[in-house]
Amino acid sequence: MIDAHLADKFIKNNTISVIGAGGWGTSLSTVLAKNGFSVKIWALERETSDDININHRNSAFLPNIELNENIHATNNLDEFRDETFIITGIPTQFIRSLFINNNFNLKDKHILNIAKGIEKNTLSRCSQIFIDLGVTAENFALITGPSHAEEVAVGMPTTIVSASEDYDYALFVQNLLSNDFFRVYTNYDLIGCELGGALKNVIAISAGIIEGLGLGDNTKAALITRGLTEISRLSIALGANPYTMFGLAGLGDLFVTCNSKHSRNRYVGEMIGKGQKLSQILQNMKMIAEGVETTISANELSKRHNVDMPIVNKVYQILFEDLDPMSAIHQLMTRSSKHEWL
């Protein structure tokens, strides 16, 4: 049950506001509708909002899923200005510009962010972006973990993590979203949860490259294991709890994103492994693969904090410096020998 005090504080007329009608924002709206709430969701594209309102579908971002009639869409961001509690599903690289360009005041608002990424140039995590925009640390929470929208939307059993510096707020999110197919754990480690969710997308691109090259399970197992090591190194250097990396926000999310056909980041890598250019791949994609831009940020963070991340570095070189994928693998395999834990 949702704490009555927090429910009265955050929820007006039994309606939850969601900004961002991509696949994950729409899928999470189905969870909220299942839990008995009405959902007001903002879509950038008019055709998306019309599709949701008229056909009860989001054909562009979550095809073949019939949406609950308690989900209503709008293109008018002004309808959200007076909301106390907002769920945001805006891709990381567009969070700052969306709110600044629309003169949208976030002061005193409680944010639940569902995007996973690291902003270019600033190298900010999503929580840091929202704090820059006026949200206090205790008014920010996130959810993360192995949760492909396509599976959540049809009620497949899923477990995720809710994290906030205000543990009561994390508990509120847990109670808000939990049901018989969507289980939410809480976590104090905001830094680790954010970095685990963001960095796994970079490793997923490399997993896709392996798939596209036609390499085997041995290669992918090595990639996932050593990729988790790199994620852990950087996260710990930035203040994360090491245990987070072995939970849902770390290993769980990494595993599913590297192996699932639903993963946009893995798809990008797979197409590169098959010989396509990054610009061509992105041009043909409707949805955003957060890992592409996060690769830039992760590579820069590794240099700034002197953290060894050879896989991330090679993904960066493949994406942005035209390094041949097989050459990258050869370079990784022939590095000087070392102890596994170093």
| Contact in structure between 138 and 166 (CB atoms under 8 Å) | yes
| 138/146 Cα distance (integer angstroms) | 25
Marked catalytic residue, from 200, 220, 314, 338: 200
Residue 160: in which H helix or E strand, if any?
strand 158-164
| 145/254 Cα distance (integer angstroms) | 9
| 267/282 Cα distance (integer angstroms) | 10
- What SS3 state is found at 335? coil
| Contact in structure between 48 and 71 (CB atoms under 8 Å) | no
Catalytic residue list contains 314: no
CA angle 139, 97, 317 (to 5 degrees): 100
| Contact in structure between 153 and 26 (CB atoms under 8 Å) | yes
Residue 250, token pair as written in the block? 């770390």
Residue 12, token pair as written in the block? 């007006």
The catalytic residue positions are: 200
